[in-house]
Chain A
Amino acid sequence: MAEVVLQDVTRRYGATLALDRLSMTIADGAFVVLLGPTGAGKTTTLRLISGLETPDGGDILMGGRSVLRDTPAQRDVAMVFQQYSLYPHMSVRDNLAFPLRSPVLRTPEDEITRKVAEVAAALRIEDKLGNKATELSGGEMQRVSIGRALVRDPQLFLMDEPLSSLDAKLRADLRVELKRIHAQLGATLLYVTHDQIEAMTMATEVGVLDEGRLVQFGTPREIYEDPVSLHVAARLGLPRINALPADLFAGAPVGAKTIGLRPEHMRQGEGRAAQVQRIEPLGDQTRLHLSLDGHDIVTLTDPHTDLEPGDSLAIEPRNALYFDASGARIV
């Protein structure tokens, strides 16, 4: 494993600037999650690091050395894609062993057996080793394709939305499992997703990408509690942060255009009266849709609330986030 450094990495596709001077350090043993919508440059970043594409500017260092001239094989990274591609005619065991049997690596057979057993145990698919790849469920197939990356001890794992084609329950299980595997193996991971839950729950650091630029890099808690812009604030948090005109409430700082209110930024029962529009039970909590001077506000309340549509509920900001006209945070 090794530290990976991106220095002013730029990539253009014709007139489109896919990545704009991206600089970022992935520390040895880190689990970095790149978060952003479609087209933000997440996958491009992975492809540049893996060597599938070449940057138009900037440098990529692994273990302190530029790898721009290295082939993908020389860079020794392992990729896991959204669409698992297993060899259907092979058993799970042979699928897992396949990368080790590459003529470049020349791994001894007893070493292969040991590695495959270790990875199968980590992924909890020991009892499936004899199965054909086609006899597995979707979740098992994705675990095998992750396993095929894990057997190799590469410098770096690159994962491109590996859980997005799985159902919700399985995604939740594999989130915990990936985190456990990361801790257990001490692996370095760069993981791309547009799912904020994955970013918050798994990452040691989150990088938020917007139109090819890295707009913030920090721990999930820093990104959630201390966003640099309205754009970043809207990336994390469910329900999404309410962005309202700053003068809707008294006390906005000078230059504030927008006040950002998460549910925990609103004291209920004091302040300005809002109308309850709709009540949505989530089970553990209830989502309230409010209206204040024609603005929609979404917040949370107790699941057994007595509130009904048409009721009035006073709300007052506390420790709210403020943003200027450009969307930058005012601290």
Chain B
Amino acid sequence: MAEIEIRNLCKKFGDFTAVQSSSFRIEDGEFFMLLGPSGCGKTTTLRMIAGLELPTSGEIRIGGEEVGQKPASQRDIAFVFQMFALYPHLNVRRNIAYPLVSQGMRRAQVREKVAEVARILGIEGMLDRPVGGLSGGDRQRVALGRAIVRDPKCFLMDEPLGALDAEFRERMAEELRALHDRMRATTVYVTHDQLEAMQMGDKIVVMNGGVVEQFGVPQDIYDKPATMFVAGFIGAPPMNFLPFHGTAEAGDTTVTLHHQALPVSALREPFDGDMVYGVRPEHVRLSDAGGYRGEVVATEYLGTTQIVTLRTPDGEIKARIPAGQAARMGETVGLEFNGATVTLFDRQTGRAIRSDLNEGVLAHG
């Protein structure tokens, strides 16, 4: 097992830059998420780590060794694809054993390894069945088994749950994570599902347009987004954005929107111009005292909470409030914001303005 270090990694396909100077570090034993929308460069990055693509420039170190220009076969990694490719004419046992047999391992040892992996995955009972008749989940378990059996330095997974339905996906996600907790193998996992990344990952890299937008632990990425892209990509519903124009000084704890002073986390730098007030739905409260007002245009019941959509002078905003609290369509209500959690953004660049909230994260991010 090993740590993986990515330094200034670039990949161009002709004129198209798929990955632009990315740097991040994956610690030994980490479950690491590469998150972003389609076309953001996450799969290209994974394929470069695997050796399926060679970088245009930059370094990839696995366990301290520079492997950027080495072929996949010399990197000792295992790749699990979204579409689990199994050998249809072989049974489960022979599918899992295949990598070991092709390495020339002794038969008794292969048997032992396959039995061990089957036990870890809970598929001992199906070793002699053909893979053709297996359910989607069992096929994915067999594909995982074939990756695990080799004891590689790290696992690379490209949306391994993407093809499964929602309920089953949740269960497999838990299984995968539990498996990782037992084996502690360095794992790099590509997904476009922000909730999957938050729930499963020890750390997350958020990519967009070939660029690393933010790198950190899940809760920091959620609470302290470095860019508007991250704030809008993470969370369901995502962060609310209220655009405004104004001037702010370092030390300010309020900004003025529509003649109302709204609280923000104390600023660490001045800013003058177009800004965006960013607040998460659970930090918006409906309150008669609130001077900033909005009209209720939709409510969505979610069991314990509800999402209320409000129209304000600066745009639509969503609030997550207890399901028992009244919110009537058409009613105009006051809004209060939890200032300590609010991020201001530079509207032009999308970058977060430094504040007490995000200072520690932005400094090394």
Given A278-B177, A282-B199, A283-B198: A237 and B222 interface contact (C-beta under 8 Å): no
Contacts of B199 in A (CB 8 A): 280-282, 287
Kindly state whether residue A166 has any CB partner on chain B within 8 Å.
Answer: no
A281 and B177 form a contact (CB under 8 A):
no
- Residues of B within 8 Å of A180, CB to CB, are 297-298
Q: Which residue of B lies closest to A221 (CB)?
A: B301
Query: What residue in chain B is nearest A289 (Cβ atoms)?
Result: B174
Flag the segment in A92-100, A149-157, A194-202 that touches B.
Answer: A194-202
24 intermolecular pairs with C-beta atoms under 8 Å apart: A168-B193, A180-B298, A195-B166, A197-B302, A200-B300, A200-B301, A200-B303, A201-B301, A201-B307, A202-B300, A221-B301, A237-B303, A238-B303, A264-B304, A278-B178, A281-B222, A282-B195, A282-B199, A283-B218, A283-B222, A284-B282, A303-B219, A303-B223, A304-B219
Tell whether B281 is near chain A: CB-to-CB under 8 Å: yes
Question: Which bracket fits the contact residues of B?
Answer: 35 or more
Note all chain B residues with C-beta closer than 8 A to A303.
219, 222-223
Most A Cβ at <10 Å: residue of B178, B282, B303, B309: B303
Instruction: Tell me whether B320 is interfacial, beta carbon within 8 Å.
Output: yes
Given A278-B181, A281-B199: A263 in contact with B301 (beta carbons within 8 A)? no
Does A236 lie at the interface of the complex (its beta carbon under 8 Å from any beta carbon of B)?
Answer: yes
* CB 8 Å contact bits of B121-145 with A (1 = contact, 0 = none): 0000000000000000000000000
Chain A 224-238 interface 0/1 with B at a Cβ cutoff of 8 Å (1 = within): 100000000000111
B218, B238, B297, B304: the one within 8 Å of A263 (CB): B304
How far, in angstroms, from A2 to B125 measured CA to CA in the complex?
54
Most chain A C-beta atoms within 10 Å of own C-beta, residue among B195, B237, B301: B301
Minimum Cβ distance to chain B for residue A125 (Å): 18
**Nearest CB to that of B280 among chain A residues?**
A284
Main secondary structure of the interface of B (DSSP, over half): mixed
Query: A169–B232 Cα gap in the complex (Å)?
Result: 10
Bound form: Cα–Cα A45–B167 in Å: 23
Q: How far is the CA of A286 from the CA of B198 in the complex (A)?
A: 10
Give every chain B residue within 8 A of A202 (Cβ-Cβ): 300
Q: Quick check: A200 and B302 within 8 Å, CB to CB?
A: yes
Whether the Cβ atoms of A201 and B219 lie closer than 8 Å is: no
Does B234 interact with chain A (Cβ within 8 Å)?
Answer: yes
Chain A residues, CB < 8 A from B167: 37, 194
* Contact flags A184-215 to B (C-beta < 8 A → 1, else 0): 00000000001101001110000000000000
- Is A179 part of the contact surface with B, judged by Cβ < 8 Å? yes
Q: Which residues of B, 175-215, contact A by the 8 Å Cβ criterion? A: 177-178, 181, 192-195, 198-200
A320 at the interface (CB under 8 A from B): no
B236 at the interface (CB under 8 A from A): yes
B307 partner residues in chain A, CB cutoff 8 A: 201
**CB atoms of B218 and A175 under 8 A apart:** no
B236 x A172 contact (CB < 8 A): yes
Q: Across the interface, do B300 and A176 meet the contact criterion of CB distance under 8 Å?
A: yes
Cα–Cα, bound, A168→B238 (Å)? 11
Query: Taking the complex as formed, is B235 at the interface, i.e. its CB lies under 8 A from any CB of chain A?
Result: yes
Report yes or no: A284 in contact with B218, Cβ–Cβ below 8 A. no
- Is A220 interfacial (CB 8 A cutoff)? yes
Q: Once bound together, how far apart are the Cα atoms of A169 and B236, in whole Å?
A: 8
The residues of B that contact A200 with a CB separation of less than 8 Å are: 300-303
Interface string of B309-337 (1 = CB under 8 A from A): 10000000000100100000000000000
B348 to chain A, nearest CB (A): 23
CA distance A224 to B324 in the complex (A): 13
A284 x B234 contact (CB < 8 A): no
Within 8 A of B (CB), among A299-314: 303-304
Residue of A179, A194, A224, A284 touching B298 (CB-CB under 8 A): A179
- Known: A176-B298, A176-B300, A200-B301. Contact between A282 and B320, CB under 8 A? no
> Nearest 10 CB-CB pairs, A to B?
A201-B300, A283-B222, A280-B199, A284-B282, A281-B219, A281-B218, A224-B303, A176-B298, A283-B235, A220-B301
CB of A192 to closest CB in B, whole Å: 15
Q: Residue of A at shortest CB range from B323? A: A221
Q: Which residues of B contact A280 (CB under 8 A)?
A: 198-200
Contact residues in B for A283 (Cβ distance below 8 Å):
198, 218-219, 222, 234-235, 280
Complex CA distance for A50 and B171, rounded to whole angstroms: 35
**How many angstroms between the C-alpha atoms of A209 and B302 in the bound complex?**
20
Chain A residue with the shortest CB-CB distance to B199: A280
CB neighbours (8 Å) of B282 from chain A are 284
How long is the Cα–Cα vector from A152 to B165 in the complex, in angstroms? Answer: 33
In the docked arrangement, what's the CA distance between A266 and B284, Å? 25
| Chain A residues in 8 Å Cβ range of B218 | 281, 283
As a 0/1 sequence over residues 214 to 234 of chain B, the CB contacts with chain A under 8 angstroms (1 = contact) are 000011001100000000001
Contacting pair A176 B309 (CB below 8 A): yes
Q: Give bound CA distance, A175 to B300, whole Å.
A: 9
A317–chain B nearest beta-carbon distance, Å: 16
Report the minimum CB–CB distance from A168 to chain B (whole Å): 7
Establish whether residues B219 and A172, one from each chain, have CB atoms under 8 Å apart when the complex forms: no
Residues on A with C-beta less than 8 A from B166 are 194-195
Complex-state Cα separation, A168 to B236, whole angstroms: 9
* Residue of A221, A278, A282 most packed against chain B (CB within 10 A): A282
